[in-house]
Amino acid sequence: MSTASQTMLNQSLFEEQDVSSQLGFFSFPSNFSTTLPFVCNQPLKSVTTLPSSLAPDTQTTLSESSTLKQKEDITSHFGQSQLLSLQRSSASLWGWGDVNDCMSSKRNGENYLGVSAIKMKKMKARRKVREPRFCFKTLSEVDVLDDGYKWRKYGQKVVKNTQHPRSYYRCTQDNCRVKKRVERLAEDPRMVITTYEGRHIHSPSHDEDDSQASSQMNNFFW
């Protein structure tokens, strides 16, 4: 990979990120208390929250310019303890720059044009992109929060030292590779951790019957 890619990497790691376009429109159950989104497996940069003191119809938008200040505010407001990140997941899996090396090292022989090679190429190509990731935790009875997008479950895994499985979802929209995973916090099973990865290439496709439901929900724009 070239230095241009490295530049991109650095930008994606260290620039403020506007996660509002990724989160879109969220509908939380009326009994949710606090959510605390933060960039996952990256330096803690983009942080915002929904203080429970906000009126239910308040719209909160996370802007690029205000996140650092917000972080300070939130840190002082909620205390540092709640800003612990989920570094325990394997961030190092998503390294850059070694895709071509991997491919060329396997190029000696038959599998360069073989079907398996193509398949491998696909997987590698998918892995090379380090999509923006962020996660947050929510006090919620239900595991999967309604975020306006349609998801298809493609896997479930029991991760070590946890009793609750982690579920893997992919956006059902064609050509949209956004993924999310949902798990319950080991230390507090009442908390749901939702991790998003990637950016939607489309707008949320809410079913058109949400006129009733919104009266029971607290709706937010991120």
Check residue 168 for interaction with DNA (CB under 7 A).
yes
Of residues 70, 89, 138, 194, which one binds DNA by CB under 7 A?
89
Q: Residue 136: beta bridge partners? A: 194
And the tokens for 7? 């530049």
Cβ nearer to DNA, comparing 54 with 118: 118
Of residues 77, 153, 190, 202, which one binds DNA by CB under 7 A?
153
On the CB side of 11, CA atoms within 13 Å amount to 7
Check residue 97 for interaction with DNA (CB under 7 A).
no
Contact indicator for 110, 102 with CB cutoff of 8 Å: no
Check residue 184 for interaction with DNA (CB under 7 A).
no
Site of tokens 């230095």: 3
Of residues 92, 105, 163, 211, which one binds DNA by CB under 7 A?
92
Write b or e for each residue in 53-68: b if 16 or more Cβ atoms lie within 10 A of its Cβ, otherwise e.
eeeeeeeeebeeeebe
Check residue 129 for interaction with DNA (CB under 7 A).
no
Check residue 45 for interaction with DNA (CB under 7 A).
no
Of residues 54, 68, 118, 123, which one binds DNA by CB under 7 A?
123
Of residues 179, 184, 191, 193, which one binds DNA by CB under 7 A?
179
Check residue 93 for interaction with DNA (CB under 7 A).
yes
Check residue 172 for interaction with DNA (CB under 7 A).
yes
In whole angstroms, the minimum distance from the beta carbon of 173 to DNA comes to 10
What distance lies between CA 55 and its chain's CA centroid? 26
In whole angstroms, the minimum distance from the beta carbon of 128 to DNA comes to 9
User: Nearest 5°: phi and psi at 135?
Assistant: -145, 165
Residue 99 CA to residue 215 CA, distance in Å, equals 49
Which are the contacts of 60, defined by CB distance < 8 A and separation ≥ 6? 48, 50, 54, 220, 221, 222
| Among 152, 145, 193, residue whose Cα is nearest residue 170 | 152
Cβ nearer to DNA, comparing 66 with 104: 104
x/- site string to DNA, residues 5 to 24, per CB under 7 A? --------------------
Binding site for DNA (CB under 7 A): 89-90, 92-93, 95, 98, 102, 119-120, 123, 126-127, 150-157, 159-160, 166, 168, 172, 179, 181
